Amino acid sequence: MDTSTIRLETERLILRPPTPEDFEGWAAFASDADVMRHLGGVLPRSTAWRGFIAMAGAWQIQGFAMFSVIEKTTGRWIGRIGPWMPEGWPGTEVGWGLIRSAWGKGYGVESASAAIDWSFANLGWDEVIHTISPDNAESKALARRLGSRYLRMDRLPAPFELDVEVWGQSRAQWQARSARSEAK
Ligand SMILES: CC(C)(COP(=O)(O)OP(=O)(O)OC[C@H]1O[C@@H](n2cnc3c(N)ncnc32)[C@H](O)[C@@H]1OP(=O)(O)O)[C@@H](O)C(=O)NCCC(=O)NCCS
C-alpha cells in the first residue's frame, strides 16, 4: 500500500506515517522513564526497533497505524499518535505518546483531534477508544479534553496483559462536538 501521500497538517504539527529517520526520536522516547511509565517501562534500542517496525508494518498491512508527529517550527519528531488496533485489542483505539519536552503545550489534543478526524473519515469506525492505565492522570486529562469518557475496564492482550480503563466516544458524539466547535 502506498502511504507516502498521507499527511495531516494542524496549526503547529505535521502528522504522517513513519519514515526511517524517525527511529532516533522513537528510540529516545522509548528509553525515557517518564514517558514509558504507563507504556510498559523503558525499552532497549533493539526492542524499540521492533515496535517502530511494527508501526510501519501496520501502515502497510492494515492501511493505518499511529502517525509520526512532527513539530513544524523545529522539524523534530515529537511522538506518535493515531489509530491502533493490533490483534486481540479491546477496540478501535486512537492512542498517543509524546516526548517529555513536548508535554504541556496542547500538542496532544491538537494531534489526537486530527487523528480522530482522519480515523472516522477513512476507517469506517463507529467508536474511538483510548486504553489507559488507571493511574495515568495525564492521559485521562487528554481523553477528557477530547470529549471522551470512561466506558469500562478491559484487558490488553499479550505482551502487555494489563487491566486498563477504556475511555472513548462514538462517531456521532465526535461529530456533534466538532460541529459545536466549528460553530463557535
Ligand atoms: C498523555 C500525553 C500525550 C498528554 O500530553 P499533554 O501535553 O498533557 O497533552 P495536551 O495536549 O492535553 O496538553 C494539555 C496541557 O498543555 C497546556 N497547554 C499549553 N498550551 C496549550 C494550547 N495552546 N492548547 C491547549 N493546551 C495547552 C494545557 O494547559 C495543559 O497543561 P496542564 O496539563 O499543565 O494543565 C503525555 O502526557 C504523554 O505523552 N505521556 C506519556 C505517554 C503515555 O502515557 N501515553 C498514554 C498511554 S495510555
Q: Is the CB of 145 under 6 A from ligand 1?
A: yes
Q: Is the CB of 65 under 6 A from ligand 1?
A: no
Give tens-digit pLDDT for 41-67: 999 999 999 999 999 999 999 999 999
DSSP line for 155-181: EPPTTT--EEEEEEEEHHHHHHHHHHH
132 CA distance to ligand 1 middle (Å): 14
61 CA distance to ligand 1 middle (Å): 30
Domains of the chain with bracketed CATH: 8-183 (3.40.630.30)
Give tens-digit pLDDT for 147-160: 999 999 999 999 99
- Quick check: 65 and 58 in contact, CB under 8 A? yes
Does residue 23 register a pLDDT over 80? yes
Does residue 182 register a pLDDT over 90? no
